[in-house]
Structure 1
Amino acid sequence: MAKTKEMTVEDKLRALYDLQIIDRRIDEIRNLRGELPLEVEDLEDEIAGLETRVEKVSNEIKDLEDEIKDRKIVIKNATEKIKKYEEQQKNVRNNREFDAISKEVEFQELEIELSNKRIKEFEAKIANKKEVKKTAADKLAERKSHLEFKQGELKSIMSETEKEEEILLKKSEELGKGIEERLYTGYRRIREKALNRLAVVSIERGASAGSFFVIPPQRQLEIAQRKKIITDEHSGRILVDPELAREEEERMGKMIEDILAKAK
């Protein structure tokens, strides 16, 4: 059985840089979407809250309208009782009976007065709640329209990038499996800490890409020799020489184009 060829340091550097190229492309796709998924989620939550608010106020208005109906029934019943008592007063036999009926009439009149007062209060509350409901409903309509726009925007971007991201994620996983676990774990750790999520960078103008810290000439020579894994002492990133970076950028760029072309 043939032995698997052991990877040289240069092989490892190329593999790490290739992985970085793929992961960088994935990051670019996700940055293209930006905050859209979160915006859509926030809008959906806001709409759900507004719908609950509109429903709650609608129920409160209905309850108040029911209260008005009940009060109108009280007024109707009281009015009918007053008429009945007034008829009874015509046939009383003494002042005691007259006074007793008068008190009943007075009580019913107070019921009517109180009910009318309550009706006015309920109507005022209804008017206020209708304003609240209109404001919430208007905002709900505006938010729904905005959500529809954002969903369309996200759908458009997703349709353009989802397949590409899926392919690149598989390629990233495939490349990751070909790198020894210690290096791969270190690569992921550096990526998580880096603001631009770059774990492997080349030297540009005597400094590591994206850094202003100059790398001494002797250190640059060691990096160009590709005999060991060298990291930037300031950022912790793995360093590669410009020539290796250029070669892998060209090779991986073509490979990605071919993979995506076949997937169409």
Structure 2
Amino acid sequence: MANIKELSVEEKLRALYDLQLVDSRIDEIRNVRGELPLEVEDLEDEVAGLSTRLEKLTLDLENINAEIKQKEIAIDEHNENIKKYTKQKDSVRNNREFNALEKEVEFQQLEIELAQKQIKERKANIEHKKDILAQTKERLETREVHLKHKKAELNDIMNETEREENFLVDQSNILRESIEVRLLAAYDRIRSNFKNGLAVVSIERGASAGSFFTIPPQVQMEIASRKKIITDEHSGRILIDHVLAEEEREKMESIFAKL
């Protein structure tokens, strides 16, 4: 990092507040996007999952139909065997051979009954899977339409704000390079402690902005003198006087207006 020139306390406060204004503007832009990027990501994952499920269900149906076909072929074979064994009974020489053929016929009939039962079960499974397939297909189509709309919404917002956000991020990085490491670390730490990301605030009506606690007059005078960096004892935020805040807001707003 390049050497940072020594700034006066007032210059440090102005740089910090400028950084706060820029970072807050970036926050606003990102808040407009809100949860949209995550929504799009979740929808993409859901669509991918449903597509995979649809492929698996389709493959399952193909496999079940193939199994049914095999069972039907087996039944045909068993029926042919029954015909063969029945015909052989006409030419047997003794009861032992006759009984053996009878058992073969019974076995083939049992095999046919088992295969028919299995076909019935698989056909019931097919109907069940077809219902799930139809539901999955309908849900997939719905989620794909929803994803398309959400992507379009996100793209519109990105197109509107991308140029401004990129400029502001560059400005934030430039400002950060002008602030000493210790002070910048304090700023980031304080900022991370608050949902609204405010680490540097001005005195408004005798209290720090966003706080109900009054700042004692003596402390207000010290803040206005801009001789040292003072933090709010209640919130820990860095405090600046109202005049300095207004000057920097006007300066930064003129920059933002050019975007």
- Normalising by structure 1, we get a TM-score of 0.92
Aligned residue number for residue 130 of structure 1: 130
Structure 1 distance, partners of 2:238, 2:96, is 109
Aligned residue number for residue 110 of structure 2: 110
- 1:166 deviates by 0.8
SS of 1:220's equivalent? helix
- 1:99 deviates by 2.2
Change in CA separation of 1:103 and 1:237 when aligned onto 2, cut-off 3 Å: same
Structure 1 distance, partners of 2:79, 2:89, is 15
1:250 maps to amino acid: E
Matches for 1:226-237 after TM superposition, within 5 Å: 226-237=226-237
2:170 maps to amino acid: K
Aligned residue number for residue 201 of structure 2: 201
SS of 2:190's equivalent? helix
1:90 maps onto 2:90 in alignment? yes
1:22 maps onto 2:47 in alignment? no
Q: Give yes or no for contact 2:5–2:178 (8 Å, CA) kept in 1.
A: no
Structure 2 distance, partners of 1:195, 1:218, is 30
1:145 maps onto 2:142 in alignment? no
1:101 maps onto 2:115 in alignment? no
Matches for 1:177-216 after TM superposition, within 5 Å: 177-216=177-216
Identity of paired residues, percent?
A: 59
- 1:5 deviates by 7.3
Aligned residue number for residue 241 of structure 1: 241
Aligned residue number for residue 79 of structure 1: 79
Aligned residue number for residue 167 of structure 1: 167
1:159 maps to amino acid: N
- 1:14 deviates by 0.9
Runs of 4+ in 1 over 6 A off after TM superposition: none
Point out where structure 2 has 5 or more consecutive residues left out of the alignment.
none
SS of 1:239's equivalent? strand
2:253 maps to amino acid: G
1:211 maps to amino acid: S
SS of 1:133's equivalent? helix
Q: Deviations over 1:82-127 (max 9, x none)?
A: 1222222223333333222222111111111111111101111111
SS of 2:109's equivalent? helix
Aligned residue number for residue 58 of structure 1: 58
Aligned residue number for residue 9 of structure 2: 9
1:178 maps to amino acid: S
Structure 2 distance, partners of 1:109, 1:215, is 98
Structure 1 distance, partners of 2:6, 2:103, is 110
- Normalising by structure 2, we get a TM-score of 0.94
1:29 maps to amino acid: I
- 1:194 deviates by 1.6
2:179 maps to amino acid: I
Q: Deviations over 1:205-264 (max 9, x none)?
A: 211111111111111111111111111111111111111111111111102223x2xxxx
Point out where structure 1 has 5 or more consecutive residues left out of the alignment.
none
Aligned residue number for residue 158 of structure 2: 158
Structure 2 distance, partners of 1:113, 1:165, is 72
Structure 2 distance, partners of 1:5, 1:127, is 77
1:139 maps to amino acid: R
Q: Deviations over 1:111-170 (max 9, x none)?
A: 111111111011111111111222222111111111111111101101111111111101
SS of 1:173's equivalent? helix
Structure 2 distance, partners of 1:123, 1:170, is 64
SS of 1:236's equivalent? coil
- 1:80 deviates by 1.1
Number of equivalenced pairs: 256
Structure 2 distance, partners of 1:184, 1:6, is 14
